[in-house]
Every structure is written in C-alpha cells, then in structure tokens.
Amino acid sequence: MILNFLILSMVLIIPSPSSTSAQPNCTRVCAGGRHENQVPYPFGFSDGCEVHLNCSNAGEIRVGQYNVHNITRDHILINFPSKCDRQFNEIRQFNNRNFALTWRNGFLLSNCHWAFYECKVPTIRVGSHLNLQQCDTTGVDTTINCYSNNTPEQEEFINLNSLELPRCQYLVSSALFDVNGNSSHSESGPEFDQYLELGWWVRGECGCDRNAICRNVSYENQTIGYRCYCNQGYVGDGFIDGDGCRIQAQAPGGSNTKPPP
C-alpha cells in the first residue's frame, strides 16, 4: 500500500511539457563581440531550431554570409550589398527547407548568355551609381541584365529554375518590388535597394494556438509548411510552442487591433 502511494506521488509531480521545453536544443540568442541578439520562435541558431539562422563571431544574425536586416511574421529581410563579381550560384543559399526567395525580389545580373525581357543596363552606369569598382567594362559583355517576376499573384516564391535559364555568371544586386512593380524601399530606383526578401515557414502539421489561424505555405504547387497568425484582438507569434496568442490590451480611445493578413 505504501509502495503504491509512493509510485502515484511520483507520477503526479512530473511536470507537463511547456513551450520553453518543446525545443530544448534550440539556441535563440546570438552573442559575440559587443552584440547580443535574440530571435523569436521559431528562429534560432542551432540544429534543434525550427528555422535555422547563422550567428557570426561578432554576434550578427545571418543567412549564409549575409546579415539579417529584419524578421517579420512572414519574411526575413537580408542586407545584400551590390557586388559585380559575386558568383550567381550564391543565390542557392537563400532557398532551403525553411525559407525561399519571394516573388518581390528583382535582380541585376551580368555575363548572361541571353537577356530577361530585353532588359539591359550599361555596366558602367550600374557601377557608377552603386559605387562599384570591380565592374569590368572592357570585356565582351558590357551590360547588366534585369530580372523581375511578371506574375506575382500566382506564386509567393521565385522559381530558381527560370532564373537560371539565361545562365548568368554574376549576381550584381537586388531590389524589392510591390504588387504594382514599384521599388519598395528606395526612392532612387529599385537597383539601389540592395535587400533580399525571404519567405519562411515551419515544416510539419499546423501547431498553432487555438486563437490563431494556420496558413499553409506552398512552393511550386506543393504544401511545404505553415505559419500562424493570431486572430483579431490577440497578439503573439501564434505558435503553440512559442508565445501563442493573448488578448491584446485596448489602446485608450479605441481598439488598436489589426486583422490577420
């Protein structure tokens, strides 16, 4: 009888799983030098994290070798400085199991076998505007080719196969465009943005809070993961294993809530 009581007591005091223990092997703090940056769920810097990012020795958040400018509930914005001799195949690092390049990205490419949409810009002009010193204006190919997605309503992400068709050697610069084809960040023109936008997702079945909406993410017509969005009147990351959703405090004079996208 005493033995049975002890066993029952041991069972009762075992703690239930919590959001902090759901991913015990995930490091969400990037520290180094004078920097210490923390990222929200589902991002992190170790193999146990749902969306894996890199942490530099200086404490900078990165995707590959490029610094992260911002993280939102849909996107990762990357600093992408212009460079004339950057190999085109570097673009592959921005498509992996948890994120990919969105349709809003436009590119300037050089040494291509043929042009996109008859879009060409003299290399010397691009080099002077972007303050590039390594643009080769003496070679056979003295133009920069442009790429942008003409059908943004069909896909959230760029199909890299179509981007690779012209067989360009160099990836010079990037820009972000809105649904009307306008540059999203720069008043000087899209070629001056020098940002990349990645759409991210969590793999597996929906793990959203009961007060959140689960939105499937598709790539090339296949569901590859999901994102969570708190319902109107709630705030949080929307994930069961994250902060979930909590009632949003009403601002003085009215509601400050926004509906999910």
What's the CA gap between 170 and 134, in Å, rounded? 12
245 contacts: CB under 8 Å, gap ≥ 6: 209, 210, 211, 212, 230, 231, 234, 235, 236, 238
DSSP state letter for 200: E
What's the CA gap between 105 and 66, in Å, rounded? 16
Span of 50-54, 108-112, 152-156, 165-169 with lowest mean pLDDT: 152-156
Which among 93, 77, 75, 102 is positioned nearest to 194, based on CA atoms?
77
- List for the chain the helix, strand, coil content (%; round to 5): 15, 35, 55
150 contacts: CB under 8 Å, gap ≥ 6: 117
The string of pLDDT tens digits covering residues 190-236 is 434 689 999 999 999 999 999 999 999 998 889 999 999 999 999 99
> Which H or E element spans position 160?
helix 160-164
Which among 224, 73, 229 is positioned nearest to 155, based on CA atoms?
224
* Tokens describing residue 82: 């212009």
- State the residue for tokens 């919590």: 18
12 contacts: CB under 8 Å, gap ≥ 6: none
Per the CB < 8 A criterion, the answer to whether 207 and 136 are in contact is: no
Per-residue confidence (pLDDT) for residue 160, from 0 to 100? 87
The string of pLDDT tens digits covering residues 82-93 is 888 899 999 999
Per the CB < 8 A criterion, the answer to whether 29 and 61 are in contact is: no
- State the residue for tokens 């769920």: 41
Q: With bands split at pLDDT 50, 70 and 90, how would you rate the model's confidence at 74?
A: very high
The string of pLDDT tens digits covering residues 2-20 is 434 333 333 333 333 333 3
Query: Average pLDDT for residues 42-52, to the nearest whole number?
Result: 95
Per the CB < 8 A criterion, the answer to whether 2 and 9 are in contact is: no
Query: Average pLDDT for residues 41-55, to the nearest whole number?
Result: 95
75 contacts: CB under 8 Å, gap ≥ 6: 102, 197, 198, 199, 200
User: In this structure, are strands 51-52 and 43-44 parallel, antiparallel, or unpaired?
Assistant: parallel
66 contacts: CB under 8 Å, gap ≥ 6: 78, 79, 80, 196
Query: Average pLDDT for residues 25-42, to the nearest whole number?
Result: 92
Between 23 and 126, the higher pLDDT residue = 23
Per-residue confidence (pLDDT) for residue 205, from 0 to 100? 94
| Backbone conformation region of residue 139, classed left if phi is above 0, alpha if psi is from -120 to 50, else beta | beta
What's the CA gap between 176 and 37, in Å, rounded? 25
Q: Domain residues of the chain, as ranges?
A: 25-63, 64-200
Per-residue confidence (pLDDT) for residue 256, from 0 to 100? 44
Q: With bands split at pLDDT 50, 70 and 90, how would you rate the model's confidence at 112?
A: confident
Span of 28-37, 117-126, 146-155, 162-171 with lowest mean pLDDT: 117-126
Per-residue confidence (pLDDT) for residue 131, from 0 to 100? 53
The string of pLDDT tens digits covering residues 178-191 is 644 454 444 334 43
Which among 4, 41, 9 is positioned nearest to 26, based on CA atoms?
41
Between 160 and 1, the higher pLDDT residue = 160
What's the CA gap between 136 and 194, in Å, rounded? 20
